[in-house]
Amino acid sequence: MISPALTEAVRRIAPGVPLPDAAPPDAGRLGLAIAGIGLLVEGLSDEAHALLSGRFAGWTRMTDHAAPIRIHVSWLDAPYRDPGLGREEEYRLEDSGLLRGRASVATRLAEPVVEAAVARDPAFIGQEVENVLRLVVAGRLLASGGLLLHAGAAALDQGAVVFPAASGTGKTTLVRELQTAGLEPLGDDMVALLPGTNGWTVHAVPFTGERTLRGRSKPLTLLAVHPLRRGPGPRLEPLTGGVAAAALANQTLGLALFPEFADTGLATAARIVRSVPVERLHRSLGDDAADLLRIRHGGSR
Q: What tens digit of pLDDT does each residue of 149-159 get?
A: 999 999 998 89
Max Cα distance, the chain (Å) = 81
Reported confidence tier of residue 19, pLDDT bands at 50, 70, 90: very low
Least confident of 50-54, 74-78, 262-266, 295-299: 74-78
Mean of the pLDDT values across residues 176-183?
Answer: 92
Enumerate domains of the chain plus CATH numbers: 4-143 (no CATH), 147-297 (3.40.50)
Q: Report the b/e string of 197-217 with b at 16+ CB within 10 A.
A: eeebbbbbbbbbbeeebbbee
Per-residue pLDDT tens digits for 240-298: 999 999 999 999 998 887 888 899 999 999 999 999 999 999 998 778 899 999 999 97
pLDDT for residue 5 is more than 50: no
Q: Rg of the Cα trace of the chain?
A: 22
Q: How high is the pLDDT of residue 15?
A: 55
d(CA 21, CA 250): 52
What percent of the chain has pLDDT above 70? 73
